[in-house]
Amino acid sequence: MNMGWNASLATGINAIDSEHFDFLRRMNALLNNRDGCDSVASALHMLTFLEHHVLHHFVEEEEQMVLHDYPAMLVHRDEHVRLVDSVLNARCDLELHNNRLEVIILSNRLLASWLLEHLNTLDRSFAQFLRPAPFQSQWDCV
């Protein structure tokens, strides 16, 4: 599975859209590497990067939720915790058992369901809460 950025994923908040764009790019890189001869090491490197990336992004996003007293913050944060747990579990499994299949399954699940649903529902709702007026994002044409 390979998924590119499109205008329907834009929240209208450039900092969030930039993070999401980069996250999709990294996930696609992980998926495209699954047949490489050094794929276990590369997958481990990518999962470690994703772990740090999502933790950084989630902290920033949650700080904004606190700052703006976002009423759905707890539900949103619970979804963040679920994703971080999935990434940590996949990384541990890869380190302990070289189980690339688990990483590929996680990656496909992230792109196919969690990420798209999260972007289109929870992140979009948060962006609308922050910016209720219609928007024109720089990410609409990427």
Would you tell me how many other CB atoms lie within 10 Å of the CB of residue 125?
Answer: 15
Q: Spell out the domain ranges in the chain.
A: 32-132
pTM, to two decimals:
0.72
Q: What is the mean pLDDT of residues 53-66?
A: 88
Pair of tokens at residue 15: 């900092």
Q: What is the mean pLDDT of residues 34-44?
A: 61
- pLDDT value for 15: 82
